[in-house]
Amino acid sequence: MSKQLNRIIVKGGVLSPGELKYICESVESLGLKTISFGSRQDILLPKKINSEKLVQFDKFQIVEADEVGVENIVSSYVCADIFPSTSWLTGDRYLYLLEQFHSKSKLKINLTDPKQRLVPLFTGHINFIASEHEDYWYLYIRLPQWKKTQLYPALIYSWDLDKIEAAIEHILQEEPETIETIFELVNDAIDTNNRTVDKPLEVPFYPFPYFEGMNKIGMDKYWLGLYWRNNKYDVSFLKEMCELCSENKIGKISITPWKSFIVKGIPRESKLIWEKFLGKRGINVRHSMLELNWHLPVAHKDALNLKKYLVSNFDQNDISTYGLTFGITDYNKTSYYFTSIVVEKNKQPEMVGSFQTRATYNLLYAKNFDPNTRHYIIHVQDVDKVELPELLMELSQLYFDQLGNEKKEEIEIEVQKETTELEVYQCQDCYTIYDEAFGDITQNIPAKIMFHKLPESYECALCEAPKTNFKKKILVK
């Protein structure tokens, strides 16, 4: 069974070597030898600790095992500089943005780059996703009582992120049911520097990356990904590693949502020192992708044993799962999936007399095996554990058979779009487009308002040029 653990909030999954060392020393003083990482890039203590003893973690926010309504902010800072990224969203930019968020958040917040694959985009209640416009973000909202994620009808300015999130939390007591209600309430509550949504979010498809071992960054730096299969990280090792980070002037350590962590910026001249350090401690840095691409509930022995059973079968059959991710969950899971394939355990019926029932499972997979589609398809239902390996291998083969087809679908969509002409009006100074389909939220103009019906006082949302400066333009869509 999964159990609740004390959590240490690590904003954005980013902390300094000094902060991690402090946590390790505090953990040791409580008689603990390991820590674990959570799927929201927080740190978990392996045993429930009395409140009185947790006061020594005064530099960090502690969420006790029975405390609810306090969530960590997830970020894709861990991917900056080492995986595909939006050009303006650098590691330093993440750090500045994360500093905005000060208060305890009741909602799960995600701050992510759509061009990376390691950190899920839509698993939060408030999902800020970088746009192509520098310092502007799409906002996708799924409040706790909502069944679907909805797009906020404006791009959010980087330095308004915390204001927007705080305003949404404040209006939760009104139980808003639609994105339009939230938009109106937020606009009434605060001043913002929103920008019109001029095109839909595009999330490119990338295979799930390999995130372990020593890997090169540019000409003279390396990044190191470390993973423990049991998610129990030895604090004595972590303390030594933090000291080595300090010696190498490495400023940050990043936790991934996959129960692992990454150290970026290892100097080329120190690579051998790090390799000797890992070797002396007996650290394995080359687990196969079969091991790395699983998401399990923390401290759930049954899930861990099932993973071992399935991975062993994959290994024996020499199966490749490169690019795929797997998740194990049970019938009472309420959060959204973020893996390509989900193994879902069904609720077992009540035992009748001495008759022992066996657990059964459902298999689901994401459309195009891409979790960011947020659309899951049932492959099989109510199957026995012994049937799972073969069925998962079948899904793996299906993935490789269709790999690349999603690009063909995009091409077909583009061809279809080419037959559609779209009439818009464009500012001749800064080339901002007024699209009747979206309106202009910066000036409280709703969608479907035709350009000629705009007031004569209308100005360009970006450069404030007059309405007369706009010219009709035909876009091929």
Residues 437-456 have a mean pLDDT of 84
What are the residue ranges of CATH 2.20.28.10 in the chain? 421-476
7-189: which CATH topology? Answer: Sulfite Reductase Hemoprotein; domain 1 (3.30.413)
Range name among 72-86, 97-111, 432-446 with the lowest pLDDT average: 432-446
What's the pLDDT tens digit per position in 178-211?
A: 999 999 999 999 999 999 999 999 998 888 888 9
The distance of Cα 375 from the centroid of its chain, to the nearest Å, equals 16
Residues 286-296 have a mean pLDDT of 82
What's the pLDDT tens digit per position in 395-419?
A: 988 888 887 665 545 434 344 444 4
- Decide: 7 and 42 in contact? Cβ < 8 Å: yes
What's the pLDDT tens digit per position in 21-41?
A: 999 998 888 888 999 999 999
Supply 29's token pair: 């003083």
Amino acid at 10: V
What are the residue ranges of CATH 3.90.480.10 in the chain? 213-290
Distant-in-sequence, close-in-space partners of 475: CB < 8 Å, separation ≥ 6: 421, 422, 423, 424
Residue 23: count of CB within 10 angstroms of its CB: 23
> Is the whole model's pTM more than 0.75, yes or no?
yes
What's the pLDDT tens digit per position in 311-330?
A: 988 888 878 788 889 999 87
How far is the first Cα of the chain from the last one, in angstroms, to the nearest whole number?
Answer: 52
Tell me the C-alpha distance between 235 and 35, whole Å.
Answer: 7
427 forms beta bridges with 470
C-alpha distances out from residue 174 to 163, 170, 179, 298, 476, Å: 18, 9, 13, 34, 42
- Decide: 343 and 361 in contact? Cβ < 8 Å: yes
Tell me the C-alpha distance between 339 and 415, whole Å.
Answer: 30
C-alpha distances out from residue 351 to 1, 78, 360, 377, 457, Å: 18, 46, 14, 30, 73
DSSP labels, 34-74: EEEE-TTS-EE-SS---GGGGGG-TTS-EE-TT--S-BPEE
Architecture field, domain 421-476: Single Sheet (2.20)
What are the residue ranges of CATH 3.30.413 in the chain? 7-189
Phi, psi angle pair for 392, to nearest 5°: -70, -35
Strand order in the sheet with 260-267: 14-15, 253-255, 260-267, 221-227, 213-217
- Decide: 84 and 119 in contact? Cβ < 8 Å: no
Q: What DSSP state is assigned to residue 336? A: P
CATH code reported for the domain at 213-290: 3.90.480.10
Strand order in the sheet with 341-345: 294-295, 326-330, 341-345, 360-366, 376-384
Residue 437 has pLDDT above 80, yes or no: no
Residue 1 has pLDDT above 60, yes or no: no
- Decide: 343 and 329 in contact? Cβ < 8 Å: yes
3-class secondary-structure state, position 129: strand
Tell me the C-alpha distance between 131 and 194, whole Å.
Answer: 13
